[in-house]
Amino acid sequence: MPQGIREMLEMREKEQLSEKATLSVNTRGREFPISRDDMRTEFQRDRDRIIHSKAFRRLMHKTQVFLSPEHDHYRTRLTHTLEVTQIARTIARSLRLNEDLTEAVGLGHDLGHAPFGHAGERTLQACYDPGFTHCKQSLRVVDVIEKLNLTYEVRNGILNHAGNDKACTLEGVIVKFADRIAYINHDIDDACRAGVLKIEDIPLRLRKSLGDTHGKRINTMVSSVIDASLACGLSEITMEKGVLEDTLELRDFLFETVYKNPTAKGEEGRACEMLTTMYEYFVRRPEELPTEFRATVEKEGIPRAVADYISGMTDRYAINRFKRLFIPSVWGAGTEEI
């Protein structure tokens, strides 16, 4: 194996990154210690572990906003993840913070999302546990289900990427801002493609302040995070007050016009009923769970195992599993009728 590459990368971090950056040599480590890699820093290893995980691959078939869209250009949970990660890296690079840590958190932040987006999350809150969130489930995916044994900083960033909680590193907080910037803008793009929204529907004041195109809005928001964070000497990751207020107002506008729109969300009720029915079915019949969930049944109980199984499903897998369980096959299907 090549010698000295990791040391060179670690030295480069010390020489080039801000004093506020999280250096890979200063990681608080992993739950289970492992030998150091010759070519990669600890955060680079986490990035690779996430990319090669099964949960990451399943993101390509999970809903972002529009349930199981047939059009090739609608975002999925995977393309959302890639957009978040790229925006986060741009911010981290401009602030001379650790891009590798930022990238790892960005790639892992949604690994625990249920099928059918937030509708699936709400379903599991209703039938399993009100405290179920995709943030907690994403951490459970990397800790328990796939046992990726990631560093503390990446795990903390994944857990605290949404809601009122704040990551312990500046890099983790960047992902929180990048997540919001990404979903607001690509959801506008998808809603316009679906005919649910026209750019002209967005209040004129917001179009003038934030931009009237996808690229202009992202540039405004990203630049605002960079400028405001530099202005405070990286004491925190923040956004200029006016831009933040307009961004939140634009998000509220989307909730009313897109996220609650019957065209975009018309199938959510049936998706929730389907997931609820399957949850109740497997709680009654845990012996029919896939083998890999049997150990969870013994250690943490049937409901926990079923919630892990349901939340890990892709949209199409959930639909096909439901069909096999509850939709009767026609006897003799495929034979020629006399």
Please tell me the number of Cα atoms within 13 Å of 216 on its side-chain side.
Answer: 9
| Alpha helix positions (H), the chain | 5-16, 42-51, 54-58, 77-94, 99-108, 117-127, 134-140, 152-159, 170-193, 204-210, 214-231, 241-254, 262-265, 268-284, 294-300, 302-312, 315-326
Is there a contact between 76 and 63 (Cβ–Cβ < 8 Å)? Answer: yes
Q: Estimate to the nearest angstrom the gap between the alpha carbon of 243 and the chain centroid.
A: 24
Q: Using alpha carbons only, give the angle 305, 311, 317 rounded to the nearest 5 degrees.
A: 110
Is there a contact between 58 and 76 (Cβ–Cβ < 8 Å)? Answer: no
Using the Cα atoms of residue 126, residue 319, residue 281 and residue 266 in order, give the sign of their dihedral: positive
**Closest among 225, 244, 227 to 174, alpha carbons compared:** 225
β-strand partners of 151: 30
Confidence at residue 269, expressed as pLDDT on a 0 to 100 scale: 87
Cα distances from 71 to residues 74, 167, 194, 213, in angstroms, run 6, 36, 9, 21
Residue whose entry in the numeric block shows the structure tokens 């078939």: 61
One-letter identity of residue 38: D
Residue whose entry in the numeric block shows the structure tokens 């003799």: 332
Using the Cα atoms of residue 326, residue 331, residue 336 and residue 338 in order, give the sign of their dihedral: negative
State the Cα–Cα distance between residues 184 and 179, nearest whole angstrom: 9
Whole-model pTM over 0.75 = yes
Confidence at residue 141, expressed as pLDDT on a 0 to 100 scale: 98
Confidence at residue 194, expressed as pLDDT on a 0 to 100 scale: 82
- Kindly list the averaged pLDDT for each block of 10 residues, start to end, along the chain of length 338: 81 97 98 95 98 96 68 80 98 98 98 92 97 97 98 98 93 98 94 89 97 96 98 98 98 89 74 96 97 94 98 95 87 50
Q: Using alpha carbons only, give the angle 46, 175, 195 rounded to the nearest 5 degrees.
A: 120
The domains located in the chain, with CATH, are 41-266 (1.10.3210.10), 269-325 (no CATH)
Q: If you write DSSP's letter for every residue of 38-80 in order, what string do you get?
A: SS--HHHHHHHHHHTSHHHHHGGGSBSSSSS--STTS-BHHHH
Residue whose entry in the numeric block shows the structure tokens 């605002």: 224
Confidence at residue 196, expressed as pLDDT on a 0 to 100 scale: 87
Q: If you write DSSP's letter for every residue of 251-265 in order, what string do you get?
A: HHHHIIIIIT-HHHH
Joined together, the tokens standing for residue 264 give 């975009």
Q: Estimate to the nearest angstrom the gap between the alpha carbon of 77 and the chain centroid.
A: 7
